[in-house]
């Protein structure tokens, strides 16, 4: 379905981003990976699916590096057809104790980076009259939790950005949508489970059960494969008129 097209996925050296990159590669898209840590492993996983890949290590909190990454992607593959804004971090603290530099980092990486990639990707998508912008928001883009003020603000913000971009591009072949996962067992969430186990003096297994029980009625984690499947659907012709949605994949979290 995506043969000959190029997908750039931010924060795709692990977790959800890597899962979505693989799902898009399985549909034939060439992939531009981004994120910290080892990129060789993820790149060879992508290339084993029979597509080309490239990696750019831009720090999503730095606009100049984001610009450089977008130029790099265009120089490698011509243009970005599918942009997945996925890079994200978390910090947990009460608002009055929230470190100012952590607030700035969460907003920069989880929200402002998507503004930069989107503004830079859209002109070529308009020219081709086809494109997909997929923003990885969260259940926290729709509802809040205590101690996550920066994350909740950034995720609500990216849902708003999604709607505004969808309206600006509504008459074109370019769509913009958000995916709102509930708990997914990635390094980002494993850290919260480990912190909870240490804080409450319980086992990691118990902390995992408690974490799910608090928010996610299905009591099961959302998987990266499920999110990859939804991203593929959003790239399909069946989704041509899906515009500006914030699509929950949260085991019932936000239905409560």
Binding segment for ligand NAD (CB under 6 A), chosen from 20-28, 34-42, 74-82, 162-170, is 34-42
* Nearer of residues 49 and 189 to ligand NAD, judged by Cβ: 189
User: Which residues 6+ apart lie within 8 Å of 168 measured at CB?
Assistant: none
Which residue of 7, 15, 131, 177 would you call a contact of ligand NAD, by CB under 6 A? 15
Give the count of residues interacting with ligand NAD (CB under 6 A): 29
In eight-state DSSP terms, residue 253 is: G
- Rule CB under 6 A: is residue 186 a binding residue for ligand NAD? yes
Which residue of 31, 60, 230, 231 would you call a contact of ligand NAD, by CB under 6 A? 60
Which of 103, 151, 183, 221 is labelled catalytic? 151
- Rule CB under 6 A: is residue 184 a binding residue for ligand NAD? yes
Instruction: Give the residue carrying structure tokens 């969260």.
Output: 138
Cα distances from 114 to residues 32, 104, 207, 218, 226, in angstroms, run 16, 15, 32, 30, 22
- Rule CB under 6 A: is residue 143 a binding residue for ligand NAD? no
Q: Which among 78, 73, 81 has a CA at the least distance from the CA of 57? A: 73
Binding segment for ligand NAD (CB under 6 A), chosen from 59-67, 94-102, 195-203, 231-239, is 59-67
- Rule CB under 6 A: is residue 189 a binding residue for ligand NAD? yes
Task: Tell me the C-alpha distance between 176 and 165, whole Å.
Answer: 6
Task: Tell me the C-alpha distance between 220 and 211, whole Å.
Answer: 10
Alpha-carbon dihedral angle through residues 42, 192, 254, 23, given to the nearest 10 degrees: 10
Which residue of 7, 39, 114, 136 would you call a contact of ligand NAD, by CB under 6 A? 136
Which residue of 23, 87, 174, 234 would you call a contact of ligand NAD, by CB under 6 A? 87
- Rule CB under 6 A: is residue 17 a binding residue for ligand NAD? yes
- Give the bridge partners for 30, in sequence order: 6
CB of 190 to ligand NAD, least distance (A): 8
CB of 21 to ligand NAD, least distance (A): 10
151 is a catalytic site residue: yes
Task: Tell me the C-alpha distance between 89 and 16, whole Å.
Answer: 12
Which residue of 30, 138, 162, 248 would you call a contact of ligand NAD, by CB under 6 A? 138
- Rule CB under 6 A: is residue 112 a binding residue for ligand NAD? no
How many C-beta atoms lie closer than 10 Å to residue 223's C-beta?
Answer: 15
Binding segment for ligand NAD (CB under 6 A), chosen from 29-37, 67-75, 76-84, 201-209, is 29-37
Task: Tell me the C-alpha distance between 243 and 250, whole Å.
Answer: 20
- Rule CB under 6 A: is residue 109 a binding residue for ligand NAD? yes
Measured in degrees and rounded to the nearest 5, phi and psi for residue 33 equal -90, 155
Cα angle 34, 39, 42 (rounded to 5 degrees) comes to 95
Enclosing H/E stretch for 85: strand 82-85
What residue ranges bind ligand NAD (CB under 6 A)?
11-17, 34-37, 59-61, 86-89, 109-110, 136, 138, 181, 183-184, 186-189
Q: Which residues are tagged catalytic? A: 151
């Amino acid at each position: 379905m995506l043969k000959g097209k190029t997908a750039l996925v931010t924060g795709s050296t692990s977790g959800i981003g890597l899962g979505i990159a693989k799902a898009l590669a399985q549909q034939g898209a060439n992939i531009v990976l981004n994120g910290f840590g080892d990129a060789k492993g993820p790149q060879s996983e992508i290339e084993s699916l029979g597509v080309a890949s490239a990696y750019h290590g831009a720090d999503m909190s730095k606009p100049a590096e984001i610009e450089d990454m977008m130029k790099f992607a265009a120089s490698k593959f011509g243009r970005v057809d599918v942009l997945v804004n996925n890079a994200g971090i978390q910090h947990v603290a009460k608002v009055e104790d929230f470190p100012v530099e952590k607030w700035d980092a969460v907003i920069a990486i989880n929200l402002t980076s998507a503004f930069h990639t989107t503004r830079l990707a859209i002109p070529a998508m308009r020219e081709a009259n086809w494109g997909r912008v997929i923003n990885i928001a969260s259940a926290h883009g729709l509802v809040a939790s205590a101690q996550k003020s920066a994350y909740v603000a950034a995720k609500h913000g990216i849902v708003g950005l999604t709607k505004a971009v969808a309206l600006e591009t509504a008459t074109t072949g370019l769509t913009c949508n958000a995916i709102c996962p509930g708990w997914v067992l990635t390094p980002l969430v494993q850290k919260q489970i480990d912190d909870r186990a240490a804080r409450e003096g319980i086992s990691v297994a118990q902390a995992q059960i408690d974490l799910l029980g608090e928010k996610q009625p299905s009591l099961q984690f959302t998987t990266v494969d499920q999110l990859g499947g939804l991203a593929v659907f959003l790239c399909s012709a069946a989704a041509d008129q899906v515009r500006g949605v914030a699509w929950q994949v949260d085991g019932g979290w936000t239905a409560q």
